Chain A
């Protein structure tokens, strides 16, 4: 047996799960799909006293259309979201990004909420929720609160979720008329975490960029929204050359995470390439 010893509970309700998490005498951790947490346990990088499995709570896994958002329950699997017709139609960036997450055999168990809460800076979904200005809902001992995705990631694998809170859903704004989006990444092998990746969404009105979103992942310690490019493009002529100029300028100023496997020059090059390709593809798709 590789993981360290721990207790396990699988409460039937959210309230009971939160009650265990709120008990300060023990260090507890939420267990969702386990596709990040169980490796951490087996590598003995995590030593919780108790795992609180959300898998027996009903109603946390739905994917529903509500006003101008699609609400994805935290326990919806990555596979379910990847194959959701609703998301393909209304939030196509989500399934596109998910296809790059690990492998089908992992997406069958890994959850949307788990990926968003885990906050790996190399992960696709955190970048998507930041780019699309999604909102997450969390339930804790004091009730429910909503957190804007752009306020969620505070540092390397750290979020502003409290330890006694359960992320229950992610609300993704639906795509607007005239918008296009894309997720582009470079990884050593298909399914690996990216060396650099970008998600982009553009909205074009009368030949100019009315709205531009660009988030890079795997380049810094949190998903990095590239304001400089968003500012440079918004209002500018919607053309690939304009994108190329903006991404080249922004790449020079990027504050890159030191990564022993990727030299700084190469990382900067990759960041520029994925940013340009994601925006250019998003532009093509906006037509």
Chain B
């Protein structure tokens, strides 16, 4: 059983950690770095709750070993918005459109959607469906989540939704 010293950047901050080879990136984030927004559901790639961005691409952190992330740049939900500042447009979209109930699936979905919109600021319905298809939500229903994504697209493009203007 080998251990390794790895250095990786999480939400802009560099961390050096001693890890067992079998430690997953999800466990590193949650248990070592106390970044518990990244949730663990199935732990074998099916549910998507653990999705983070690894060098800009979505990745299941339950299916990535921490050692594989040596040198990588990781983004998690915690890095999206300043705790005192405004929400990230994708978070704001979920807020406005009630894109969550229990919220267990939300951090993973939000990270996938952040990646989608950075790659394609105006995605088609099919693209949104393909992205959301990689996530299981057991309570909200995908209609509200899709509306939240559409809202995020609007917020990012600077045109405000009726709710935004009212506030």
A, B bound: yes
Residues in A lying within 8 Å of B, measured CB to CB = 1-10, 31, 34-35, 38-39, 41-43, 51, 53, 55, 79, 102-106, 108-109, 189-191
Given contacts A5-B22, A103-B48, A105-B59, 11 further A-B contacts (CB under 8 A): A1-B27, A8-B2, A8-B21, A38-B24, A39-B45, A42-B43, A42-B62, A43-B44, A102-B134, A103-B130, A109-B57
Contact status B44-A39, CB under 8 Å: yes
Interchain CA distance A42-B70 in the complex, whole Å? 21
Contact status B60-A5, CB under 8 Å: no
Confirm or deny: B78 has a beta carbon within 8 angstroms of a beta carbon on chain A.
Answer: no
Instruction: Please indicate the chain B residues that have their CB under 8 angstroms from the CB of A8 in the complex.
Output: 2, 4, 21, 65, 67
Instruction: Please indicate the chain A residues that have their CB under 8 angstroms from the CB of B65 in the complex.
Output: 8, 31, 34, 38, 51
In chain A, what residue has the closest Cβ to B59? A109
Contact status A42-B67, CB under 8 Å: no
Confirm or deny: B1 has a beta carbon within 8 angstroms of a beta carbon on chain A.
Answer: yes
Instruction: Please indicate the chain A residues that have their CB under 8 angstroms from the CB of B5 in the complex.
Output: none
Interchain CA distance A104-B62 in the complex, whole Å? 16
Contact status B63-A35, CB under 8 Å: yes
Interface residues of B in 134-161 (CB under 8 A from A): 134-135
Instruction: Please indicate the chain B residues that have their CB under 8 angstroms from the CB of A5 in the complex.
Output: 1, 20-22
Interchain CA distance A2-B40 in the complex, whole Å? 12
**A157–chain B nearest beta-carbon distance, Å:** 17
**B106–chain A nearest beta-carbon distance, Å:** 15
Contact status A34-B64, CB under 8 Å: yes
In chain A, what residue has the closest Cβ to B130? A104
Instruction: Please indicate the chain A residues that have their CB under 8 angstroms from the CB of B112 in the complex.
Output: 104-105
**A23–chain B nearest beta-carbon distance, Å:** 15
Confirm or deny: B101 has a beta carbon within 8 angstroms of a beta carbon on chain A.
Answer: no
Contact status A41-B134, CB under 8 Å: no
**A226–chain B nearest beta-carbon distance, Å:** 30
Contact status A3-B22, CB under 8 Å: yes
Interface residues of B in 48-78 (CB under 8 A from A): 48, 51, 54, 57-60, 62-65, 67-68, 70
A38-B63, A38-B65, A109-B60 are known contacts. Are A1 and B22 too (CB-CB below 8 A)?
yes
In chain B, what residue has the closest Cβ to A43? B44
Instruction: Please indicate the chain A residues that have their CB under 8 angstroms from the CB of B33 in the complex.
Output: none
